[in-house]
Amino acid sequence: MSEIKIVRNTAPKQKPDENNLVFGKYFTDHMFEMDWNQQQGWHDARIVPYGPLELSPACTCLHYGQETFEGMKAYRNPHGEIYLFRPMENFKRLNRSNERLCIPQIDEEFALKALLELIKMDKDWVPHTEGTSLYIRPFVIGTEPSLGAHSSSEYKFLIIMCPVGAYYATGLNPVSIFVENEYVRAVRGGMGFAKTGGNYAASLKAQDVAAEEGFSQVLWLDGVERKYIEEVGAMNVFFVLGDEVVTPALQGSILPGITRKSVIELLSSWGYKVSERRLSVDELLEAYKKGNFTEMFGSGTAAVISPVGLLRYKDIDMKLSDGKIGELSQRLYDELTGIQWGKCPDPFGWTMKVE
Amino acid sequence: MSEIKIVRNTAPKQKPDENNLVFGKYFTDHMFEMDWNQQQGWHDARIVPYGPLELSPACTCLHYGQETFEGMKAYRNPHGEIYLFRPMENFKRLNRSNERLCIPQIDEEFALKALLELIKMDKDWVPHTEGTSLYIRPFVIGTEPSLGAHSSSEYKFLIIMCPVGAYYATGLNPVSIFVENEYVRAVRGGMGFAKTGGNYAASLKAQDVAAEEGFSQVLWLDGVERKYIEEVGAMNVFFVLGDEVVTPALQGSILPGITRKSVIELLSSWGYKVSERRLSVDELLEAYKKGNFTEMFGSGTAAVISPVGLLRYKDIDMKLSDGKIGELSQRLYDELTGIQWGKCPDPFGWTMKVE
């Protein structure tokens, strides 16, 4: 299984305009693919031209949601070299998701090797323009061509990649967030900590409602008591409360973000008091009234740091950082993107060069 | 959109042995397919040879679980005629699932028309052997070829069909069920009432554990208090408690089963007191101790009625109906399958002839 077969794309596509990249729409010339079955385990690792999959209409992933994925990025530094950001963290998390979804484990080292190989083949697709990067989507799907409602006996692991622009076209910008009261994304004992389709499917409805009301995303509350802060679907959240920076503790229903982890490590290294703990909406409201809740931001691979200018709970609007970018948000954004794009030193050894 | 284009399969397959049908594995010669986009709505309705789908590796259903489905059956009566059982209930439920998953509504009447057309083309696939039927799987998947985490802008609606054997090879048989304490399938505010992949994905792990311990399925408790009975994943559940037959009320986290509905209607017509209400494990244990909890069964399209001989909660084993088929389970099974296979009168007008 150490061999990766390579089939070169003989009809490479024209690359999209780097100044008008839409997220997740333009794919590179190649993709990585391998298969799993009970007899052979993971086998037939190959890099092939990017193109449609032929799937049985009965296959598990189309009916029973047995699918997991990851999201990560490759960045081009000022010298034109390509770097990844903590890629092993992604493959480790993919395996934790796989475990929850009854999907066989992948060899993390081999997955990284395959990714490096794939990036090298499509290296010209890593964009050069300020703020751009190559988005990488490893994913696993159950492909048994049968309707039995049990874990699949066949799987595919794929990696596809697409050049993406800066998340905020006009630079870092505060967003408005809405605390969701009706719908629930995930619950303790469920699969909220896993990066799997069902969690996103469950959140579409609330996102649509929020968008109609002019909010960019919803903030999820816990499914049991509906009063503790969880996450924002596409990102984890942090709150500056006096001299404490608080983020919800990982208790099974929240995605263990890699940007989240990096933010915690950065803040601690800067001497901040960071708490991973339970945080209720009531505590937030109370702190806001006292002038003690001053800043909020999200963290995630796509936007890196996303400052929040307005948080609405029922009919209460909490305006944060004067509706502007908070001080800490800006500092974290500069530091993290600085490390990612190779403009700052990397004291934690988070980046990995694609040779 | 009233036209259904037909492309006949010129290489029909050999039909499988009716005495050795495996659930969900052998598909008929044709399938129904139509597409949706924002400009045309549902369009290009067609019956085509059963075969693989060409899907973009980036398409929504493979990453974000935007997928809904139904399960229903066609039965051959002793005169060789083909009947459906309450098919409009399935298409109505599909639309309720679609609404929760942000999938566009389908025209229910048109879906039924398409299904009737498809069954007529593959009528020889409806098996003749006692206890067999044609399983029908309508489903919708999001097919936008892009990784944006929002509702898809393109969809496919398909119907595929497969001949299936009797659910219990050796006739109606009591099963053992295990009350699940660790994992949660769905929660109020989630999408438990919808027939969508994520609910099944969330339940795979517990099913695997149960199977290892010799149980056929797990009984789910509510995700909030973890003490109220919900359902068994593949079926709804009923409990005979003294002179009352109890089934959990539909409160958003339970699938509104069509067999469940039919059982309630049948029992009421027979003069039983049927309650749709909250039912805690503690109440069950209490009733069992008093000799008041005498029978339990599941209801679903696949098994119709599934008598439960043993229910385990933590280390307590509740043995029901002496581990045999309960009286009411047998009567309901005989009546329902009698109506479905056209061996009994159909006083409720539940069946629909495929002309």
CA distance B167 to chain A (A): 12
How far is residue B146's CA from residue B340's CA, in Å, rounded to a whole number? 43
CA distance B200 to chain A (A): 5
How far is residue A259's CA from residue A234's CA, in Å, rounded to a whole number? 12
The model's pLDDT over A47-82, given as tens digits with 9 standing for 90+, comes to 999 999 999 999 999 999 999 999 999 999 999 999
**Residues composing chain A:** 355
pLDDT class for A172, splitting at 50, 70, 90?
confident
According to DSSP, residue B81 is labeled -
| Residue range A5-164 in CATH 3.40.630.150 | no
Residue B282: pLDDT above 80? yes
Write down the pLDDT at residue B1.
55
DSSP A34-78: EEEETTTEEEEEEEEES--EEE-TTBHHHHH--EEE--EEEEE-T
Top CATH class of B175-340 equals alpha beta
Per-residue HEC secondary structure of A140-207 comes to EEECCECCCCCCCCEEEEEEEEEEECCCCCCCCCCEEEEECCCCCCCCCCCCCCCCEHHHHHHHHHHH
Write down the pLDDT at residue A170.
65
Chain B residues touching A97 at Cβ < 8 A: none
Write down the pLDDT at residue B197.
97
Q: Are A247 and A332 in contact (CB under 8 A)?
A: no
C-beta atoms of B137 and A198 within 8 A: no
Write down the pLDDT at residue B233.
79
Contact residues for A178 (Cβ-Cβ < 8 A; gap 6+): A210, A213, A215, A217, A218, A219, A311, A312
C-beta atoms of A205 and B24 within 8 A: no
Q: Of A150, A180, A137, whose CA–CA distance to A23 is shortest? A: A137
Q: Are B307 and B294 in contact (CB under 8 A)?
A: no
How far is residue A221's CA from residue A167's CA, in Å, rounded to a whole number? 25
Q: Record the tokens describing residue B191, joined without a space.
A: 């999408």
C-beta atoms of A201 and B66 within 8 A: yes
Residue B71 Ramachandran class (φ > 0 left, ψ -120 to 50 alpha, else beta): beta
Q: Of A209, A199, A217, whose CA–CA distance to A69 is shortest? A: A199
Contact residues for A32 (Cβ-Cβ < 8 A; gap 6+): A4, A45, A46, A47, A114, A115, A117, A118, A157, A158, A159
**pLDDT average, residue stretch A148-158:** 95
C-beta atoms of A190 and B202 within 8 A: yes
The model's pLDDT over A110-141, given as tens digits with 9 standing for 90+, comes to 999 999 999 999 999 999 998 899 999 999 99
ipTM for the whole complex: 0.97
Write down the pLDDT at residue B294.
96
Residue A168: pLDDT above 80? no
Q: Record the tokens describing residue A9, joined without a space.
A: 């794309």
Q: Where do the domains of chain B lie? A: 5-164, 175-340
C-beta atoms of B190 and A208 within 8 A: no
**pLDDT average, residue stretch B155-179:** 89
Q: Record the tokens describing residue B20, joined without a space.
A: 């050795």
Neighbours of B182 (CB within 10 A): 10
Q: Which of B57, B196, B207 sits opposite A53 (nearest CB)?
A: B57
Q: Choose the mutation target among A64, A118, A162 for the interface with B, i.e. most B CBs under 10 Å.
A: A64
Amino acid identity, position B120: K
Residue B297: pLDDT above 70? yes
The model's pLDDT over B324-343, given as tens digits with 9 standing for 90+, comes to 999 999 999 999 999 999 99
pLDDT class for A355, splitting at 50, 70, 90?
confident
Average pLDDT taken over every residue of chain A = 95
**pLDDT average, residue stretch B243-262:** 96
Q: Of B94, B38, B105, whose CA–CA distance to B68 is shortest? A: B94
Write down the pLDDT at residue A38.
97
